[in-house]
Amino acid sequence: MKRPIRIGTRDSALALWQANKVAGLLEKYDKPNVLHPVKSEGDLNLAQPIYQMGISGVFTRGLDAALLRGEIDIAVHSMKDVPTALAEGLEVVAVLERGATEDVMVKSPNSGATVVATGSLRRKAQWLRRNPSHSITGLRGNVQTRLDKVFNNPWLGGIFALAGLERLEIKDLEVEVLDWMLPAPAQGAVVVVAKSDRSDLKEALALINHSNTALEAQLEREFLRQLEGGCSSPIGAIAKVNGEEVLFKGGLFSLDGTKAVTIEKRTTRSNAVSDVPLWVGEVLKSGGEEILKELRDGKDS
């Protein structure tokens, strides 16, 4: 390319960290670039829960539109925010090496309370499954805004992605790692999206693609897609590629956490993608169909 690669990003601190990470990697390969911050619907509407704003793309639609209009060349996202079906004409061109995948409880000074804050139905369902006597309150905003709410309300704490806290180098927090909680598909992964017809960009971005992370995220997102889940369905998944071996864990939960179907599978790198439909079928036959029906009926009521 003759001109710098225009990198589209949301303007939150975490999104800018991710975009600057991509920028730095590209510069190592002598690919000049410039950042173009864009506001998203998810950033502008902090009062409405994510799952009431439409099940996909509230953090990505603005950048998708800028890509399709040719205002930016690539868009950088937290991959867990990206719909499993991209807008027509767009495709994933790189996935960066993954950060931490775990969720953590950030405790507030009022640690005697039994109220837990999260805007995620997946986190809510899994927390209530372990702690049925607790109550959940909503939590929206960027990382610092959510932390401020946790510190200034009479809650036990709030649930956050560990990767975001680490990337922003937020210190002096009392945290509990929730290693039992299935993360969101592709949690901890940063993705780069471009127009499908930009072969020049695909070649450039292939240089920074991390193949193991890309496969892990592909498996998790395919599990999500085939279960017909989106931001409004409590679905968790985590894949770990180690050489030729792949370990996969996935789960589907009722909104109140009283019902759950989880699986744990071991397969090979070459068979993993074709195994996903088998795993989804097992979940559906083991009670997943009933949970999905309840979720759909709940949305319709």
pTM, 2 dp: 0.89
Q: Decide: 125 and 144 in contact? Cβ < 8 Å.
A: no
* Whether 297 is catalytic: no
Q: How far apart are CA 46 and CA 141, in angstroms?
A: 6
Strand partners, 262: 251
Amino acid 42: pLDDT:
44
Token code pair at residue 123: 């986190």
Q: What is the pLDDT of residues 141-178, one digit of tens each?
A: 889 999 999 999 999 999 999 999 999 999 889 999 99
Q: Among residues 64, 73, 81, 103, which one is catalytic?
A: 81
Q: How far apart are CA 281 and CA 222, in angstroms?
A: 13
Give phi and psi for 2, each to the nearest 5: -80, -30
Cβ atoms < 10 Å from Cβ of 22? 25
Amino acid 113: pLDDT:
80
Residue 241 binned pLDDT confidence (cut-offs 50, 70, 90): very high
39 pLDDT higher than 70: no
Question: Is pLDDT larger for residue 233 or for residue 163?
Answer: 163
74: Cα separation from own chain's centroid: 19
Domains and CATH numbers, the chain: 5-97+189-209 (3.40.190.10), 103-178 (3.40.190.10), 222-300 (3.30.160.40)
Q: What is the pLDDT of residues 40-71, one digit of tens each?
A: 554 444 444 434 433 345 567 889 899 999 99
Token code pair at residue 261: 């179907």
Amino acid 44: pLDDT:
40
Q: How far apart are CA 158 and CA 155, in angstroms?
A: 8
Amino acid 93: pLDDT:
97
